[in-house]
Amino acid sequence: MTGPEQRPATPVSRQDVGLRSERGPILGALMLCTSLVALDATILATASTTIAHELDAFEQVPWLFSVYTLAQAVTVPVYGRLADVLGRKRMMLAGVTIFLLGSVLCAVAWSMPALIGARVIQGLGAGAMLPMSMTIVSDIYTLAERAKTQGYLASVWAISAVVGPTLGGAFSQFLSWRWIFWVNLPLGAVAVFMLVRHFREKPREGEREPIDYVGAVLLTAGSTLMVGGLLEGGTWGWASATTLGVFGGAVVLLAAFAMWGRRVPHPIFDLRILRRRVVSTTTVVSLMVGVIVLGLTTYVPIYAQGVLGASPLVAGFALAAMTIGWPLTASLSGRVYLRVGFRSTGLLGGSLVLGGSALALILGEGSHVWHIAPITFLIGAGMGLTAVPTLIAAQNSADWSTRGAVTGTNMFARSLGSAVGVAVFGAVVNANTTVGADGTPSGPGLAHAIHLVFWCSVATAVVLLLAVVLMPRDGRPDSSR
């Protein structure tokens, strides 16, 4: 994928990268867009029971989360490529608009099917917002400056991890769960205003590359079946005709997409970018990050409550240590990779992830709940030194015309990893436990099952570390990019 270079026309000052600098309003808008996605990942969880009571549809609650994840994941690579053709600003504004439309429809939903449909629309918008935020930051800031802006973006995730569940519970108890979605409107409106007013891109010179609509349909449809099968295969039964049919359809569509991509000069997603070692290795890293994070967020609370007898609040605090460690080291990772390089920083982070995962193996039925927090903090700290620097390494290897696609590939891999984690860890746990009416695994085999999950996390961390080892040696990165 080649084409004329396009750079943002927004005037920049290299003296300050804070919110009060010339680029500050753009950074503030990107933080708001990121906060919408980050809050939506946590705010709904504490209100799901209230929603199920009001809409009288307990059995459909899991779909509120899975359809959103699915819609977000499968559209990321398409948005990434469209941003390289049509521009970042246009895709970001489209994403925010779709997300806010979905929020309004969620807020006025009259039934669970209507709410689930609205969540699909939200996910379609979120699929553009997060990768566009990361791509725009890569466009308007040099590598040295991004080392500082990471602190701002990381703080959004840290704050959302605390504020999201609190707001969700407060709205449900004192106002209405519908305010969970109404609150998105003012935040999104401010973000749109600041982007329209302050972020400008030069018009692209030369003839615009044609958009590969056929490839987009094949990729989206195939990815939808693949991710959907991974998310729901355990519910349908892995050997059921439905699951086999879904995966079979995914294989056919994705194979057709790969063959079609060879026939067109400008495919919606050019598989040739994976030939670059820095892109392929960092994509594998992102895939493994998704697997490990899903395993922790799903089964650490279940272990704390079902095996150790902790309350839901205490179990949440044990997992929250990871959400503290991750943004803390992510905000500091820039200083590290500017000194020692992306690969060395990733090796340090991957080693922490592997060490924390190995320490989880010593947890047992006689452990104390406070043993969990240091382990999840260590893994989170490792993630902050791995996920962010490897993504920036991939972005730094691409020019403007492919940077959106590279970012989209990396973030799609993380979503796919989460879906794989759902399938693998869920199958391991369900094979060794009984599942209660609320969908939570329980029984005498729970401790053994989650111990197996921890072993799976160790194996995943080993693959992650090996992928970092295979990254190109970069030395100290060029801070001018």
Residue 277 and residue 262 share a domain? no
Query: Can you tell me the mean pLDDT for 367-387?
Result: 87
Q: What is the CATH number of the domain that holds 297?
A: 1.20.1250.20
Percent of residues, the chain, with pLDDT higher than 90:
15
For residue 2, tell me if it sits in a domain. no
Q: Which residues of 71-94 are buried (b: 16+ CB within 10 A; e: fewer)?
A: bbbbbbbbbbbbbbbbbbbebbbb
Query: Which range among 67-71, 96-100, 111-115, 279-283 shows the weakest confidence by mean pLDDT?
Result: 67-71
21-36 pLDDT, tens digit per residue, is 677 788 888 888 888 8
Residue 357 and residue 217 share a domain? no
Structural domain boundaries enclosing 253 = 212-267
- Number of domains present in the structure of the chain: 3
Percent of residues, the chain, with pLDDT higher than 70:
83
Rounded CA separation 73/104 (Å) = 21
- Predicted pLDDT of residue 468: 93
Residue 184 and residue 154 share a domain? yes
Long-range contacts of 253-260 (CB under 8 A, 24+ apart): 253/218, 253/221, 253/222, 253/225, 254/218, 254/219, 254/222, 254/223, 254/226, 256/218, 256/222, 257/215, 257/218, 257/219, 257/222, 260/214, 260/215, 260/218
Residue 420 and residue 347 share a domain? yes
For residue 5, tell me if it sits in a domain. no
Query: Which range among 24-33, 236-245, 426-435 shows the weakest confidence by mean pLDDT?
Result: 426-435
How much is the pTM? 0.80
Domain boundary among 171, 200, 229: 200
Residue 418 and residue 281 share a domain? yes
21 is written with which tokens?
A: 């600098």
304-357 pLDDT, tens digit per residue, is 877 777 776 677 677 777 778 887 888 788 888 888 888 999 999 999 999 999
Which of residues 347 and 148 earns the better pLDDT score? 347
Residue 351 and residue 249 share a domain? no
Residue 316 and residue 460 share a domain? yes
